[in-house]
Amino acid sequence: MGTQRTQVAIVGAGPSGLLLGHLLHNAGIDNLIIERQSGDYVLGRVRAGVLEQTTVDLLDEAGVGARMHREGLFHDGYDLTFGGARHRIDLHGLTGGKRVMVYGQTEITRDLMDARAAVGRPTVYEATDVAPHDFDRDAPTVTWRKDGAVHEVRCDFIAGCDGFHGVSRTSVPEGGVTTYEKVYPFGWLGLLSDTPPVSHELIYSNHERGFALCSMRSMTRSRYYVQCPLEDKVEDWSDAMFWDELRRRLDPATAATLVTGPSIEKSIAPLRSFVAEPMRFGRMFLAGDAAHIVPPTGAKGLNLAASDVRYLSRALIEFYAQKSSAGIDAYSARCLARIWKAERFSWWFTSLMHKFPETGAIGRKLQQAELDYLVQSRAASTVMAENYVGLPF
């Protein structure tokens, strides 16, 4: 068995693991990232990319924001469509100048990978049988198998950044973690295309046929979604069927200007709300999707992961620089206070915008009344805007 030593072993090379690794590197803290997939596979995952200002600031703090500022798109608002008309939510005006940035998660991952390679920090890709050990003691380890050999790293701390299906959370002994979960009775069918977006800002649509979202990756690449039954298969949806269904769920003026084209990628994503408590187990910490999932309606998933990394990086830096465990002791409680607020907003926004057959005609009428109140009341619009741009730490 090959054994090595590091200060922090990070399980998972998605954006949360990579960002944590780079922030720790900048503070002089040695770290090793272990990832079960290949680098190409990680970069091939298509995910959302609406960033809160706090996430933009954290990427800048890490020194990886240059390309984001060149290519990302700042948005000052977004539109809600219902009853055949569009209504703008003025994020900038309602929140005292705050905004969001559209920049794909794949691009963030690429920037972080390039930054890690530039400083020579190690990442182990295609590691199988990854397992954390002894995190309830003072000398935890992580083992994995690669190229026919078993490897081990001894460390001070383990950061579980390996996603919802990762090994970190499932390594906690039974009874050590409490989970809360809601699975929604529909999914999102997403289509990526090299076409100009139908609007310069996002459009969220509530329609009797179901929810739709018009988003983008750039001014030449669009990302669109329609609500679909969970039992649907991607192969059941031709590109033509998707575009026709999207048009039906938009207001007539927007539908008339929609530019269509062949799909680059098409997939169906289920929706769930999920939280695991606590997020610290001795010397192992969960971060990102390993600890929580939100439905994508509120664009909180990547931002919550960045929030966890912000808390965890500062806690570990405080531990090494000041010999203080205050930050790591408070890590779980601080994260969860923010997570539950984001979970609430994502659940509410999902409930407001989607078709729920079980609620019947009265549910549809109540949605319409709430949407009408929302766009007419500055107070209600402000609450929505404050949550969307990101609550303060």
pLDDT tens-digit map of 342-377: 999 999 999 999 999 888 899 999 999 999 999 999
Domain shared by 18 and 71, yes or no: yes
Q: Is residue 112 part of a domain?
A: yes
Q: Which of 65, 105, 6, 22 is nearest to 313 (CA)?
A: 22
Domain tally for the chain? 2
Q: What pLDDT was estimated at residue 358?
A: 87
Assign 245 to helix, strand or coil: helix
pLDDT tens-digit map of 92-131: 999 999 999 999 899 999 999 999 999 999 999 999 999 9
pLDDT tens-digit map of 277-301: 999 999 999 999 999 999 999 999 9
Q: What pLDDT was estimated at residue 23?
A: 98
Task: Tell me which H or E stretch contains 167.
Answer: helix 167-170
Tell me what the mean pLDDT of segment 204-231 comes to: 95
pLDDT band at 46 (very low <50, low <70, confident <90, very high): low
Q: Catalytic annotation on 300?
A: yes
Domain shared by 224 and 328, yes or no: no
Domain shared by 241 and 373, yes or no: yes
Domain shared by 194 and 62, yes or no: no
Q: Is residue 211 part of a domain?
A: yes
Q: What pLDDT was estimated at residue 43?
A: 87
pLDDT at residue 209 greater than cutoff 90: yes
pLDDT band at 1 (very low <50, low <70, confident <90, very high): low
Q: Tell me the C-alpha distance between 202 and 215, whole Å.
A: 5
Q: Is residue 233 part of a domain?
A: yes
Q: Is residue 244 part of a domain?
A: yes
Domain shared by 345 and 373, yes or no: no
Q: Which one of 22, 25, 75, 207 is the catalytic residue? A: 75
Query: Peptide bond before 278: cis, by omega within 30 degrees of 0?
Result: yes
Taking the CB of residue 86, how many other CB atoms lie within 10 A of it? 18
Q: Catalytic annotation on 204?
A: yes
Residues sharing a CB contact under 8 Å with residue 210, sequence separation 6 or more, in sequence order: 186, 226, 227, 228, 249, 354, 355
Taking the CB of residue 207, how many other CB atoms lie within 10 A of it? 21
Instruction: Taking each helix axis as running N to C, give the angle between helix 301-322 and helix 53-62, from 0 to 180 degrees, rounded to the nearest 10.
Output: 40
Provide the percentage of residues in the chain whose pLDDT is more than 90: 94
Averaged confidence pLDDT in the chain: 96
Q: Is residue 71 part of a domain?
A: yes
Domain shared by 167 and 280, yes or no: yes
Domain shared by 60 and 204, yes or no: no
* Domain CATH number, residue 251: 3.30.9.10
Domain shared by 194 and 54, yes or no: no
Q: What pLDDT was estimated at residue 111?
A: 97
Task: Tell me which H or E stretch contains 178.
Answer: strand 178-193
**DSSP letter (8 states) at residue 359:** G
Q: Tell me the C-alpha distance between 18 and 24, whole Å.
A: 10
Q: Catalytic annotation on 296?
A: yes
Q: Is residue 115 part of a domain?
A: yes
Q: Tell me the C-alpha distance between 291 and 38, whole Å.
A: 23
Domain shared by 204 and 289, yes or no: no
pLDDT at residue 45 greater than cutoff 90: no
Q: Is residue 92 part of a domain?
A: no
Instruction: Taking each helix axis as running N to C, give the angle between helix 301-322 and helix 15-26, from 0 to 180 degrees, rounded to the nearest 10.
Output: 30
Q: Which one of 132, 197, 295, 296 is the catalytic residue? A: 296
| 189 touches 237 (CB < 8 A) | yes
Q: Which of 159, 136, 135 is nearest to 9 (CA)?
A: 159
* Domain CATH number, residue 22: 3.50.50.60
Domain shared by 314 and 370, yes or no: no
Tell me what the mean pLDDT of segment 61-82 comes to: 96
Q: Is residue 202 part of a domain?
A: yes
pLDDT tens-digit map of 145-202: 999 999 999 999 999 999 999 999 999 999 999 999 999 999 999 999 999 999 999 9
Please provide residue 292's backbone torsions phi and psi, each rounded to the nearest 5 degrees: -160, 150
Q: What pLDDT was estimated at residue 260?
A: 98
Q: What pLDDT was estimated at residue 158?
A: 98
Domain shared by 135 and 164, yes or no: yes
Domain shared by 342 and 358, yes or no: no
Q: Which of 76, 78, 74 is nearest to 56 (CA)?
A: 74
What is the domain extent for residue 194?
Answer: 184-270+354-389
Write down the pTM of the prediction.
0.94
Q: Tell me the C-alpha distance between 327 and 319, whole Å.
A: 7
Q: Which one of 25, 151, 207, 300 is the catalytic residue? A: 300
Q: What is the largest CA-CA distance in the chain?
A: 66
Q: Tell me the C-alpha distance between 281 and 227, whole Å.
A: 37
pLDDT at residue 310 greater than cutoff 70: yes
